[in-house]
């Protein structure tokens, strides 16, 4: 569903979908799949696992496995201009508080 929407968005934005974008979308789909599978495994097994026959407790290895595809997905989304900040005309709506602005302005 997400990939289909991304394809439609890119076609509208660029007029077509070139080979490089197709490859990037394929990589994005693959990374999202790895991330989702890792998160599902984390939910079923828990964050902490027993190792060495129950003698040692430690973090579930799927935490580290899920971290990398999440990072890669964000990078590919930036490259495809699918993230909000990477789109043309994006402006942050968050304004600093007067106290923070005073601090940033200096004496």
Confidence tier at 92 by pLDDT (50, 70, 90): low
Question: Given this model, what pLDDT does residue 107 score?
Answer: 63
Alpha carbon 11 to its chain's center = 22
DSSP 96: -
pLDDT digits (tens, 9 = 90+) for 45-63: 999 999 898 899 999 999 9
Confidence tier at 40 by pLDDT (50, 70, 90): very high
Nearest of 4, 5, 64 to residue 35 by alpha carbon: 64
The Cα–Cα gap between 69 and 35 comes to 6
Question: Given this model, what pLDDT does residue 93 score?
Answer: 64
């Amino acid at each position: 569903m997400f990939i289909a929407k991304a394809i439609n968005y890119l076609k509208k934005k660029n007029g077509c979908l070139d080979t490089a974008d197709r490859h990037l979308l394929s990589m994005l789909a693959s990374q999202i799949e790895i991330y989702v599978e890792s998160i599902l495994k984390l939910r079923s097994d828990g964050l902490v696992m027993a190792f060495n026959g129950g003698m040692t407790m430690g973090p579930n290895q799927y935490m580290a496995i899920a971290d990398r595809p999440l990072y890669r997905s964000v990078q590919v989304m930036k490259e495809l201009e699918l993230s909000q900040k990477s789109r043309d005309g994006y402006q942050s709506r968050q304004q600093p508080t007067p106290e923070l602005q005073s601090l940033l302005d200096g004496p």
